[in-house]
Structure 1
């Protein structure tokens, strides 16, 4: 397993040989949620507890928890690549967004929506 998953949140798994400790952070959000453990099971438990603590903190503050990987992001590319992609999308009678989404699906191997 490369990542931990819990309630829609994904966490990294890293190792510190200096501390002989596993650690990680929640990916795909601006806020920092980190966790650690001496074993894989401890790491997983601390990850889940950290997510639950984050939910409790948000509730106390009256704010909505940040949702990871919302499905939108900015991409910065050269103007010439942007032009080529936009013209290709027009020729294909699709949107630039659909063209980019299909290219990403092909690259990462996800099934079409």
Structure 2
């Protein structure tokens, strides 16, 4: 779900029988909850507005900084299989992994 240009991740919490949303690319902020999508959108907008206002008041950047680098640990068999798959596609392991992550993240 995208709320005012910020992507939110939504999950259902069966213990409280509500949807829970969060903005993973922000430096903080609380979860927001609702029983239906319309309420989730409303609560997400309120939560986001309060968080952005607090950041502006404190002079804090609301978005997390992402360097573009991270370490991925695999078992040796998966590492080998990924290297073979990358070579079969004529790509380096890094480019193959970037393409796979990009495709998975945009769905």
Q: Give the equivalent residue in structure 1 for 2:20.
A: 24
Aligned-residue offset at 1:59: 1.2
The alignment's TM-score, normalised by the length of structure 1, stands at 0.60
Q: Give the equivalent residue in structure 1 for 2:41.
A: 44
Aligned-residue offset at 1:99: 1.0
Contact 2:83–2:93 (CA<8 Å) still a contact in 1? Answer: yes
Within the candidate set 29, 33, 36, 2:30 is matched to 33
SS of aligned partner of 2:22: strand
The alignment's TM-score, normalised by the length of structure 2, stands at 0.62
Q: Give the equivalent residue in structure 2 for 1:9.
A: 7
Structure 2: segments with no counterpart, 5+ residues: none
Aligned length: 105
Within the candidate set 47, 54, 78, 2:75 is matched to 78
SS of aligned partner of 1:25: strand
Q: 1:77 to 1:32 in 2, by over 3 A?
A: farther
Supply the RMSD in Å over aligned alpha carbons.
3.8
Spell out the pairing of 1:90-101 with structure 2 (5 A cutoff).
94-101=91-98
SS of aligned partner of 1:75: coil
Contact 1:24–1:34 (CA<8 Å) still a contact in 2? Answer: yes
Structure 1: segments with no counterpart, 5+ residues: none
